Amino acid sequence: MNGPRFNEWIQSQKVRVIDHEGENLGVMYTREAIAQAQEVGLDLVEVSPNADPPVAKFLDVGKYKYEAQKKANLARKSQKTQEIKEIKMRPNIDDHDYDTKMKKVVEFIGEGDKVKVTMRFRGRELSHGQLGMNVLQRVAEQVNEVAKVEAYPRMEGRQMLMVLAPK
């Protein structure tokens, strides 16, 4: 059975009962509580099974399950997954190209995503690693207010990587 226990599936002998208007009726035997709930035309639903004694309410089980499912769907819909976006650059990047890429970096961080900045080296550029490092440091300084450096620049083969995360 999925969902909360109700009526005869409640396993404890005694439960703390709350009626349909929110009134605390106190601790009573589960059988008595089920009988009282059925008089009102509702079910006895265990809302807090870990309490001592467990707390049960007079509710309509179908409606209670529906509301719980709706609440869970809303929570799932409103959560945001964090993605890793990648920006690729070259060590001898021009100012305008750099500015355009930086606008995208700031936009991605504003959306709450992580940004992986990749510095690609080709041919003899590999022997001038400090040029790429300078560009990546410039990127880190420029986004200092909105992001923190999660992974500092490191070489991986022919490319240098740095990861930025929103603050």
Contacts 24+ apart (CB under 8 A), 12-16: 12/53, 12/54, 14/53, 15/44, 15/46, 15/53, 15/54, 15/55, 15/56, 16/51, 16/53, 16/54, 16/55, 16/56
Q: 56 and 94, same structural domain?
A: no
For the stretch 111-129, pLDDT in tens is 999 999 999 999 999 999 9
End position of a domain, from candidates 76, 102, 120 = 76
For the stretch 34-81, pLDDT in tens is 999 999 999 999 999 999 999 999 999 999 999 999 999 999 888 878
Q: What pLDDT does residue 81 have? A: 81
Over range 5-16, report the average pLDDT: 94
* Residue 159 resides in a domain: yes
Asked if pLDDT for residue 2 goes beyond 90, the answer is no
Q: Which residue segment(s) compose the domain that 35 sits in?
A: 7-76
Over range 4-19, report the average pLDDT: 93
Q: What pLDDT does residue 124 have? A: 92
Q: 160 and 102, same structural domain?
A: yes
Asked if pLDDT for residue 1 goes beyond 90, the answer is no
Pick from 95, 141, 87, 142: which is nearest to 115 by CA?
Answer: 87
Q: 70 and 88, same structural domain?
A: no
Q: Rounded to whole angstroms, what are the CA distances from 32 to 27, 39, 140?
A: 10, 11, 68
Distance between alpha carbon 105 and the CA centroid of its chain, in Å? 22
For the stretch 122-165, pLDDT in tens is 999 999 999 999 999 999 999 999 999 999 999 999 999 999 99
* Residue 60 resides in a domain: yes
Indicate the pTM of the whole model. 0.58
Q: 95 and 72, same structural domain?
A: no
Over range 12-37, report the average pLDDT: 94
Number of domains in the chain: 2
* Residue 1 resides in a domain: no
Q: 64 and 90, same structural domain?
A: no
Distance between alpha carbon 70 and the CA centroid of its chain, in Å? 18
Q: What pLDDT does residue 80 have? A: 79
Q: What pLDDT does residue 62 have? A: 92
Q: 93 and 68, same structural domain?
A: no
The domain that holds 113 is classified in CATH as: 3.30.110.10
